[in-house]
């Protein structure tokens, strides 16, 4: 039986889907139990449920399955993209007379599907405004932007809004690791940020402790209880707002919303800054109610995880030039200090910190972002970048020296 699906597992590995012995054994057991109902479709659903652990691997799984079992070439996704590009550039259909509309034949679904498959095999090029081939702006039953009382729409939107079936049943774009995050994806990524401690009432059975105490008590049972494990993740989230961060407002808002809703984050404190931190942070994005860094350090211990969000883009003098920032804030003279010194002080206080940058990595070189990346470990604010940042925060003491 294993000979039937082991080559498929190697096909999955070739497509970068992480499968191994555990997935092979689970799949073999599922087949032995007949969960696939002795059909290829059943095997597809069982294999996908057992082998795909990340949403970003769904398309790779489908590509591997198609290549292995149906002989579909690996360029299938590319061909679909080309088809979508063509259908996005639709030709305008002409207005038909009532007589022409009446002459169009209404077909049932079975006949439509058969004709659609025949057209796919025969058609070799683009067609627009016709009455037979798959195209745009015509009276053919197949395509987009045209008109037919019964047809199959191919593409994003129909012309006459009277299609019987929709060929593009899968309407979601492939999940990619370099796309900007939405709230749901952020929530999934944040769940990996875990740190547990035992605290509270002694109401959980300690099996190992019970066995040890019972053995030492000459076999007489002695129950040992312990406090339950609770999430102890505490996060200080600092967000850059205004100026060059305005185009990224929606992305940062999603991160903020997901962080507030994350059940595994026990404590979350959020503050705002603009470009650089000069000894003060703010409770609101309107920069009211300033809070001194020293006061924040008294509230949060080094065990808190520091997350800064910003493009780290500013004039070099804002980051590297010394200034009496205390005077600018309060009107009282203070010690001249460069912005990067405040940043370094912030980084030194926390054992675990990371900077999430919404700009592409090629924007970081040669500017203030590169200087700040030497103080904080910097990751791009994408699905892969957030995953790497979570992994980074989950390690031991990772302060930059």
Q: Which SS3 state, helix, strand or coil, does residue 225 take?
A: strand
**CA angle, 262 as apex, 259 and 267 as ends, to 5°?**
75
DSSP state for residue 244 in the 8-state scheme = G
Structure tokens at 250: 């929606």
Q: Which residue has the tokens 């931190």?
A: 277
Domain definitions of the chain by residue range: 2-74, 86-166, 199-231, 232-393
> DSSP readout, 343-364?
HHHHHHH-SEEEEEE-S-GGGS
What pLDDT, on the 0 to 100 scale, is given for residue 372? 95
Rounded Cα gap, residues 30 and 36, in angstroms: 7
How many angstroms separate the Cα of 305 from the Cα of each of 319, 346, 394? 23, 12, 9
Q: Beta partners for 176?
A: none
What pLDDT, on the 0 to 100 scale, is given for residue 166? 32
Give the contacts of 29 (CB within 8 A, at least 6 positions apart): none
CB atoms closer than 10 angstroms to residue 395: 9
DSSP state for residue 176 in the 8-state scheme = -
Question: CA end-to-end span of the chain, whole Å?
Answer: 55
Structure tokens at 227: 């406090």
Q: Which of 136, 146, 149 is nearest to 90 (CA)?
A: 136
Whether 310 contacts 364, CB under 8 Å: no
How many angstroms separate the Cα of 306 from the Cα of each of 99, 346, 356? 70, 9, 11
Q: Which of 64, 73, 72, 71 is nearest to 11 (CA)?
A: 64
Whether 31 contacts 1, CB under 8 Å: yes
Structure tokens at 237: 């989230």
Rounded Cα gap, residues 272 and 288, in angstroms: 10
CB atoms closer than 10 angstroms to residue 256: 17
Q: Which of 235, 240, 239, 237 is nearest to 263 (CA)?
A: 235
Rounded Cα gap, residues 111 and 132, in angstroms: 14
Structure tokens at 77: 């996704």
What pLDDT, on the 0 to 100 scale, is given for residue 169? 39
- The alpha carbon torsion through 183, 187, 193, 196 (nearest 10 deg) reads 140
Please give the CATH architecture assigned to the domain spanning 232-393. Answer: 3-Layer(aba) Sandwich (3.40)
The rounded average pLDDT for each run of 10 residues, N- to C-terminus, in the chain (401 residues) is 72 88 88 83 86 81 79 52 61 58 52 64 61 59 52 48 36 42 67 59 77 84 74 86 88 85 84 91 85 92 92 89 70 79 93 93 89 94 88 69 45
Rounded Cα gap, residues 252 and 288, in angstroms: 20
Continuous segment of H or E residues that includes residue 21: helix 21-32
């Amino acid at each position: 039986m294993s000979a039937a699906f082991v080559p498929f597992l190697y096909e999955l590995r070739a497509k970068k889907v992480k499968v191994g012995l555990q997935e092979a054994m689970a799949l073999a057991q599922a087949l032995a139990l007949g969960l696939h109902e002795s059909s290829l479709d059943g095997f597809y659903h069982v294999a996908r449920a057992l082998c795909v652990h990340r949403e970003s691997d769904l398309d790779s799984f489908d590509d591997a399955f198609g290549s292995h079992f149906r002989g579909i070439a690996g360029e299938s996704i590319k061909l679909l993209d080309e088809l979508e590009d063509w259908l996005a550039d639709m030709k305008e259909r002409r207005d038909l007379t009532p007589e022409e509309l009446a002459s169009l034949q209404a077909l049932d679904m079975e006949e439509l599907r058969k004709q659609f498959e025949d057209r796919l095999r025969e058609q070799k090029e683009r067609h627009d405004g016709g009455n037979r081939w798959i195209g745009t702006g015509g009276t053919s039953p197949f395509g987009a932007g045209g008109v037919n009382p019964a047809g199959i729409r191919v593409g994003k939107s129909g012309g006459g809004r009277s299609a019987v079936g929709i060929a593009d049943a899968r309407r979601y774009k492939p999940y990619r690791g370099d796309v900007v995050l939405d709230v749901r994806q952020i929530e999934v990524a944040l769940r990996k940020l875990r740190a547990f401690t035992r605290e509270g009432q002694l109401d959980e059975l300690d099996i190992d402790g019970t066995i040890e105490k019972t053995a030492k008590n000459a076999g007489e049972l002695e129950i040992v209880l312990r406090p339950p494990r609770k999430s102890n993740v505490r996060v200080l989230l600092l967000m850059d707002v205004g100026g060059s961060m305005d185009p990224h407002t929606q992305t940062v808002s999603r991160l903020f919303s997901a962080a507030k809703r994350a059940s595994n984050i026990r404590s979350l404190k959020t503050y705002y800054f603009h470009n650089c931190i000069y000894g003060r942070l703010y409770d609101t994005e309107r920069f009211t109610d300033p809070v001194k860094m020293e006061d924040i350090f008294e509230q949060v211990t080094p065990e808190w995880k520091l997350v800064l969000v910003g493009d780290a883009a500013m004039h070099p003098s804002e980051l590297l030039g010394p200034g009496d920032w205390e005077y600018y804030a309060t009107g009282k003279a203070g010690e001249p200090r460069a912005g990067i010194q405040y940043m370094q002080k912030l980084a030194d206080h926390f054992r675990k910190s990371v900077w999430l940058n919404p700009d592409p990595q090629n924007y970081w070189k040669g500017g203030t972002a590169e200087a700040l990346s030497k103080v904080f470990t910097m990751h791009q604010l994408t699905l892969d970048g957030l995953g790497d940042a979570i992994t980074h925060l989950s390690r031991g003491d990772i302060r930059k020296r």
